[in-house]
Amino acid sequence: MNKPWKLILLLVGIFIAGSVTGALVMQRIGRASSAKRPLPEQWAPLHLKRLVDRLDLQPEQVDQLRPIVRRNMEQLNRLRAFSLAETRSGVEQMEREIADKLSPEQRAKFERLNKEMRERAKRLGHDRLPGGPNAPRPERPRPPGGAPLPPGEGPAPEKPAHN
């Protein structure tokens, strides 16, 4: 073969086509799987149904387990909401600190970049976080037994508004 660059170009083209196809397929699969994910309100009934199906529970056992599953799934949802709210708060804090170190031109670009990332997350369905930037914080989770968390292991207390 006198022209090996043609073969190399062909192989690179095949590689790029495969990469693009794989990325598109994975994007579609990811969207489909996140759309199938149950909402927190569905966690308890789905878990109880799974227990009934797999353990052949008797009706009286289902009646005994229903409040246990519901109570604990509600606690898991509160912990999830708290964690997501703290994550959002941490990201916003990081963005503010970064913006403080940038020039006005860089800050404008940074704000556009953040806006694009939020819009992309919304398109992909990752914006279903509880509340929003101005939403009230979820109740502070407590360890088993109801004792408050030790200092520094939870959100900082909110400062009272001065009128």
pLDDT at 143: 44
Taking the domains of the chain in order of start, what are their residue ranges?
Answer: 40-123
pLDDT at 128: 53
pLDDT in tens, 26-38: 887 776 666 677 7
pLDDT value at 119 more than 80: yes
- Is pTM beyond 0.75? Reply is no
String of DSSP letters for 63-115 = HHHHHHHHHHHHHHHHHHHHHHHHHHHHHHHHHHHHHHTS-HHHHHHHHHHHH
pLDDT value at 148 more than 90: no
Q: What percent of the chain has pLDDT over 70?
A: 71
Q: How far is CA 35 from CA 5, 18, 31, in A?
A: 45, 26, 6
Q: Of 93, 85, 70, 96, which Cα lies nearest the Cα of 134?
A: 85
pLDDT value at 154 more than 90: no
The rounded mean pLDDT for the chain is: 77
pLDDT in tens, 45-90: 888 999 999 998 999 999 999 999 999 989 998 998 899 899 989 9
If pLDDT is split at 50, 70 and 90, which confidence band does 150 have?
very low
